[in-house]
């Protein structure tokens, strides 16, 4: 069984550890011994306590799951086999400056990792592509990209769940505004989203729209109203704004 050193014990570390613990021997480290112990007890993993924040990484595979600014909190001693990082907006070049390793993989999972349905973007050394897919497919699906597309993929996969949450909230509030109980409105929208996501797996969105948009009908009136408020343009600008910040 391959060993993986997990640095961090937060939400993403938990999602990854849950998906990987049957396939890898996972050693967990971080800055707080009590939190490491608690995390390991909950998930039945092995703690790795650091002395003076120093982590010996020679020939190891290391999975960085701490906050981006926390990288400096650790002293990485030796040369790792591979460093995998999920740190937002930390490039492969920056990783090279912080940790010595033979191979580097950068990954960007999203909030759906907690239910093993993340879409995770990957880039870095192609020699370690297969190992990277093995790790990140444990929390959903993964795609391999050029690093120059990473900020865009972060906006689309990482930020857009918040945009969709806004859409869901707006629909629920609209139902309530025009007379439905919040409970009924919420149930309709929740089921709408889960049914829609299954349909989207097999059908292009344009066809989905056309299927419910009969000539002169009520859906067409609603779509025309959304077009009047430039919904598509709002999304284009939102993705660009998020991309420029990622
Ligand atoms: N959440 C997401 O949807 C998401 C998506 C993609 C990528 N990411 C990336 O995943 C990483 C972890 O995010 P998360 O959501 O799992 O966050 P989280 O639950 O808040 O966990 C943060 C982790 O970072 C550690 N940490 C924070 N400050 C530290 C410091 N100064 N020194 C050492 N360790 C420190 C925390 O340890 P302590 O408890 O001891 O502070 C904890 O282990 C981040 O880099 C984030 O950019 C998150």
Claim to verify: residue 99 and residue 182 sit in the same structural domain: no
Q: Is 140's C-beta closer than 6 angstroms to any atom of ligand 1?
A: no
Q: How far apart are the CA of 181 and the centre of ligand 1, in A?
A: 38
Alpha helices in the chain (DSSP H): 11-20, 33-43, 92-98, 129-136, 150-153, 160-177, 182-202, 205-212, 218-228, 231-245
Claim to verify: residue 106 and residue 134 sit in the same structural domain: yes
Claim to verify: residue 43 and residue 130 sit in the same structural domain: yes
* Residue 202: per-residue pLDDT: 96
Q: Is 32's C-beta closer than 6 angstroms to any atom of ligand 1?
A: yes
Task: Find residue 203's DSSP bridge partners.
Answer: none
Q: Is 47's C-beta closer than 6 angstroms to any atom of ligand 1?
A: no
Of the residues 106, 128, 145, the one at which a domain ends: 145
CATH for 31: 3.40.50.720
d(CA 201, CA 206): 13
pLDDT at 246 over 90: no
Per-residue model confidence as pLDDT tens digits over 166-211: 999 999 999 999 999 999 999 999 999 999 999 999 999 999 999 9
In the numeric block, which tokens belong to residue 73? 């909190």
CA distances from 40 to 9, 14, 17, 43, 75 (A): 9, 10, 10, 5, 22
Mean pLDDT of the chain: 96
Claim to verify: residue 113 and residue 177 sit in the same structural domain: no
Of the residues 125, 145, 165, the one at which a domain ends: 145
Claim to verify: residue 31 and residue 130 sit in the same structural domain: yes
pLDDT at 110 over 90: yes
* Residue 47: per-residue pLDDT: 96
The count of domains in the chain is 2
In the numeric block, which tokens belong to residue 236? 């284009």
d(CA 192, CA 40): 38
Claim to verify: residue 138 and residue 202 sit in the same structural domain: no
Claim to verify: residue 12 and residue 114 sit in the same structural domain: yes
Q: Is 53's C-beta closer than 6 angstroms to any atom of ligand 1?
A: no
Range(s) of the domain holding residue 36: 2-145
Cα torsion 102, 75, 55, 60 to 10°: value is 0
Claim to verify: residue 164 and residue 230 sit in the same structural domain: yes
* Residue 67: per-residue pLDDT: 96
Q: Which residue CA neighbors atom 32 of ligand 1 most closely?
A: 70
pLDDT at 226 over 90: yes
Cα torsion 137, 143, 149, 153 to 10°: value is -60
Mutate to test the pocket of ligand 1, among 5, 6, 9, 10 (most ligand atoms within 8 A of CB): 10
Q: How far apart are the CA of 234 and the centre of ligand 1, in A?
A: 30
d(CA 145, CA 240): 18
Q: Report which of 48, 66, 57 is spatially closest to residue 9, judged by C-alpha positions.
A: 66
Sign of the alpha-carbon dihedral angle for 205, 209, 211, 215:
negative
Claim to verify: residue 180 and residue 201 sit in the same structural domain: yes
CATH for 159: 1.10.3730.10
Q: Is 174's C-beta closer than 6 angstroms to any atom of ligand 1?
A: no
Claim to verify: residue 26 and residue 131 sit in the same structural domain: yes
Q: Is 75's C-beta closer than 6 angstroms to any atom of ligand 1?
A: no
Q: Which residue CA neighbors atom 37 of ligand 1 most closely?
A: 8
Claim to verify: residue 78 and residue 160 sit in the same structural domain: no
Of the residues 97, 117, 145, the one at which a domain ends: 145
d(CA 108, CA 156): 11
Claim to verify: residue 210 and residue 237 sit in the same structural domain: yes
pLDDT at 57 over 90: yes
């Amino acid at each position: 069984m391959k060993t993986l050193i997990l640095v961090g014990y937060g939400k993403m570390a938990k999602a990854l550890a849950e998906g990987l613990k049957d396939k890898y021997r996972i050693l967990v480290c971080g800055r707080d011994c009590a939190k490491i112990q608690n995390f390991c007890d909950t998930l039945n993993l092995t703690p790795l306590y650091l002395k003076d924040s120093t982590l010996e990484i020679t020939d190891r595979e290391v999975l960085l799951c701490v906050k981006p600014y926390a990288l400096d909190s650790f002293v990485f001693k030796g040369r790792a086999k591979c460093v995998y990082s999920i740190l937002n907006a930390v490039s492969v070049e920056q990783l090279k400056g912080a940790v010595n390793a033979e191979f580097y993989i950068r990954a960007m999972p999203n909030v759906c990792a907690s239910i093993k349905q993340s879409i995770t973007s990957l880039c870095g050394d192609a020699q370690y592509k297969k190992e990277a897919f093995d790790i990140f497919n444990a929390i959903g699906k993964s795609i391999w990209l050029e690093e120059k597309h990473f900020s865009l993929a972060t906006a689309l996969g990482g930020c857009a769940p918040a945009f969709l949450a806004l859409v869901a909230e707006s629909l629920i509030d609209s139902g309530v505004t025009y007379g439905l109980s919040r409970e009924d409105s919420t149930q309709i929208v929740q089921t709408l989203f889960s049914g829609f996501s299954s349909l989207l797996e097999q059908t292009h969105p344009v066809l989905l729209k056309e299927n419910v948009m009969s000539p002169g009908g009520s859906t067409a009136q609603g779509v025309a109203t959304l077009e009047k408020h430039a919904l598509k343009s709002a999304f284009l600008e939102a993705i660009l704004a998020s991309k420029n910040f990622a």
